[in-house]
Structure 1
């Protein structure tokens, strides 16, 4: 019998190399090695919360690819449908943490990676059938990786839609991958087909400046709705919380949870995990926003890209934020 998943997601996962003890990249003699990627970060947190999650990607058939597989299996993410990438390379990124006055920085080394070479024919078509998944998710990062990765993501979205599987997209704009003009050209034809659209406030400012209002985030969101009129729009606002706009124009908002910040990388992916988990559980829009903010807070208080959280920790935070030790 074919297994049914709560969510399947497509995207690239990389090895992350970080100098220890706040050292600079040109100072350190070694690196801490971790695994991170937009969609797999989201799936890992969702799997830790008890959902059945499958990750689609393309990995090299070597020890580096095995490192990624093992890391995701550790969080109970199903990686059996990942496409073999032969001798292709695994993407890397270097993260240099900073403290004022030194700013953190990220350097990518992911060009021509195994995932960047993924083709639509590599998709496991049997997964994109009615009843096989409750949600398909991907991101603007995947669409921006390469022409073939973009075509693969577009094909996956089309297959999901044909199978009646709701679709979710996290804009997650990265200017090092593509220009605002290229991003809009690719993204805008897709937006009207999505059930859920997650976008950071700063990404609306970067990609759709005509919708941006520096003085009113609600006006920004309502203006942006013209590009995705049929989607549930979720806009993250960092320390200002998050807002949601329904196709009918109903606005919902939540504050951020305070956290003793260790690392912000992966915070948006963690928010997506909390929100999508609540949405799949049939919770209200306000509850889903609040759960997204709670999982993001756990991520901020954790090193690495993934929110190491479980259901009991999440429930305690939602019931009593002061009881977790996260609040200042």
Structure 2
């Protein structure tokens, strides 16, 4: 029986300066739709999974276009609710070589930021689902969003769903008077699968590998350094079955290394490391990893190494795709997993 995954969060309109133009140079912006949890849902749908995205949108033509973009990619949106006045935005300036990229959020007073507990019938929505996914972006947006997310997590836990989270710390979003360290533990403690990057655990929970500095990796990140981080996170959140850390080494904005580690309480598994030399778009890379991980854990039960390898390869391919959505197929991911990274034309 096909597994059903529910993803909950905000979807936004992304306005990107074309190519490598700076904001000050751009006379037009390229419009696409995006959001951490929506990106995960699109990945899963592209892999053939039953993926549903739940959010709150204003009732207007822009929201209709947004929903069509999700439908086009096979995502179910039947339980989206409507209210409020505006869709959140973010502006993107793509970095190049030594110049980093920039993201400017414009999501205050968005429809989703004004969501509150009781607006969504979670018992009905989660009734036939197997998995619930949320990220640390949602509780950062507003207190109401944090409470609505907790409400969903508590219902999902009572109904026996697998719960996953991507810690996804965004410092510019935590503006409503509470910190991530105050809000996140109550939500994370109910999650079965916890994903973070090399900085999330330190920023939110004060857990870091000894002597590690993300700005001084010189393109190489040693996965073994994160064994203690995984152990401490699992000790702090004993409900967790697996802790996963993505490892990004940055030579420059166009050249990164990419890998991941997975701790299942017994051993630390390491993925292959990919050397991504000509990045097309790195935004959404972590979300594509999460989508690949959920697919891998559901498709390869009891094969954590294969699930981790699938997630890493899927995310590697996402770096070659414009926009936030990962449009890679299972066949393409498996081909890269097998060692075929030649990029030869398939005829």
TM score, norm. by length of structure 2: 0.87
Q: CA deviation at 1:299?
A: 0.7
* Map of 1:6 onto structure 2: 4
* Map of 2:222 onto structure 1: none
Q: Secondary structure at the match of 2:144?
A: helix
Q: CA deviation at 1:220?
A: 2.3
Asked whether the equivalents of residues 115 and 145 of structure 2 are also in contact (C-alpha less than 8 Å), the reply is yes
Separation in 2 of the partners of 1:325 and 1:263?
20
Separation in 1 of the partners of 2:238 and 2:57?
36
Separation in 2 of the partners of 1:84 and 1:322?
43
**Normalized per residue, which structure has more helix?**
1
Q: Secondary structure at the match of 2:227?
A: helix
Q: CA deviation at 1:5?
A: 5.3
* Map of 2:218 onto structure 1: none
Classify 1:112/1:181 alpha carbon distance in 2 versus 1 (closer, same or farther; 3 Å): closer
2:274 is the alignment partner of 1:257: yes
Separation in 1 of the partners of 2:178 and 2:113?
20
- What aligned pairs does 1:49-68 form with structure 2 within 5 A after superposition? 49-68=47-66
Deviations 1:39-89 (A, max 9, x none): 000110110000001100001111111121011111100011100125x11
Separation in 2 of the partners of 1:255 and 1:208?
28
Q: CA deviation at 1:224?
A: 2.7
Tell me whether 33-42 or 190-199 shows the greater mean CA deviation. 190-199
Q: Secondary structure at the match of 1:233?
A: strand
Asked whether the equivalents of residues 5 and 54 of structure 1 are also in contact (C-alpha less than 8 Å), the reply is no
* Map of 1:236 onto structure 2: 246
Asked whether the equivalents of residues 2 and 49 of structure 2 are also in contact (C-alpha less than 8 Å), the reply is no
Q: CA deviation at 1:245?
A: 1.2
Q: Over aligned residues, Cα RMSD in angstroms?
A: 2.0
- What aligned pairs does 1:105-254 form with structure 2 within 5 A after superposition? 105-125=102-122, 126-129=124-127, 132-178=128-174, 182-215=179-212, 216-231=225-240, 232-238=242-248, 239-246=257-264, 248-254=265-271
* Map of 2:290 onto structure 1: 272
Separation in 2 of the partners of 1:274 and 1:256?
16
Q: Secondary structure at the match of 1:320?
A: coil
Deviations 1:97-155 (A, max 9, x none): 121343210100001111111122221331122xx111000000011110111111000
Q: 5+ residue gaps in structure 1?
A: none
Asked whether the equivalents of residues 204 and 212 of structure 1 are also in contact (C-alpha less than 8 Å), the reply is no
Asked whether the equivalents of residues 259 and 272 of structure 2 are also in contact (C-alpha less than 8 Å), the reply is yes
Asked whether the equivalents of residues 300 and 306 of structure 2 are also in contact (C-alpha less than 8 Å), the reply is no
* Map of 1:18 onto structure 2: 16
Q: CA deviation at 1:38?
A: 0.1
Separation in 2 of the partners of 1:210 and 1:271?
22
Classify 1:322/1:23 alpha carbon distance in 2 versus 1 (closer, same or farther; 3 Å): closer
Separation in 1 of the partners of 2:342 and 2:99?
33
Asked whether the equivalents of residues 211 and 224 of structure 1 are also in contact (C-alpha less than 8 Å), the reply is no
Separation in 1 of the partners of 2:316 and 2:258?
13
